[in-house]
Amino acid sequence: MNKLIPVNSVNDIMAEYRDNPIGLLLEYHNLGRHYESYDKARLLVGMCMDNRKHLHIPDNFAFIIRSGGANLRYSEFKVSYAIGVGNVRHIALIAHNNCGMVNLISREPDFVNGLIENAGWDRERAEEHFMHFAPMFEVGNEKDFTLSETKRLRLRYPKIIIAPLYYRVEDNRLYFIQED
């Protein structure tokens, strides 16, 4: 199990992330750093679409891609855009606890019934939709998935600095996910 590393002071920020936009993200969110003004994004944040998470960062500081489980596999063109056009050189991948994309198969009844009741779909169409897409969006364990996504993106974008982070919903704080 990958350990979470708390960030309660500037000294807790890992050296490779200090003095760059990832360190600033942690300072803004966890440490209450006074907001600076930005005219362009310095960072790309990939995080879950979950409504329980909100980052404390200044306006214009980051591009943010929200996708179930912080899964950027199907948002790669947007990642490339942020790097190529937006000139970002740092990515923070943020998982969180109690993610709905973990054990997704257990949510099939709610998913199917919700599409029937809320969207007017018939059962067969809703079930087919779930079975087609659920395997693509299942993340397994939040920490393990974030570490594997970090590794994948580092291979894809070797000059980009990427940090695996974890958001605990209970305390609204960001943690590093320890890499082996």
Q: Are residues 59 and 17 in the same domain?
A: yes
HSE at residue 173, side-chain half, CA atoms within 13 A, is 15
pTM: 0.93
Instruction: Extract the tokens encoding 23.
Output: 């360190």
Q: Are residues 68 and 96 in the same domain?
A: yes
Concatenating the DSSP letter of every residue in 114-141 gives HHHHHH---HHHHHHHHHHHHHHH--SS
Whether the CB-CB separation of 172 and 179 falls below 8 Å is answered with no
Rounded Cα distance, 45 and 37, in Å: 18
Overall number of domains in the chain: 2
Q: Are residues 115 and 163 in the same domain?
A: no
Q: What is the pLDDT along the chain (180 residues), one digit of tens a residue?
A: 569 999 999 999 999 999 999 999 999 999 999 999 999 999 999 999 988 889 999 999 999 999 989 999 999 999 999 999 999 999 999 999 988 898 999 999 999 999 999 999 999 999 999 999 999 888 889 999 999 999 999 999 999 999 999 999 999 999 999 998
Instruction: Extract the tokens encoding 33.
Output: 């750093």
CATH of the domain at 92: 3.40.1050.10
Q: Are residues 112 and 43 in the same domain?
A: no
> Range of 53's domain?
4-101+141-177
Q: Are residues 36 and 123 in the same domain?
A: no
Q: Are residues 97 and 120 in the same domain?
A: no
Whether the CB-CB separation of 7 and 175 falls below 8 Å is answered with yes
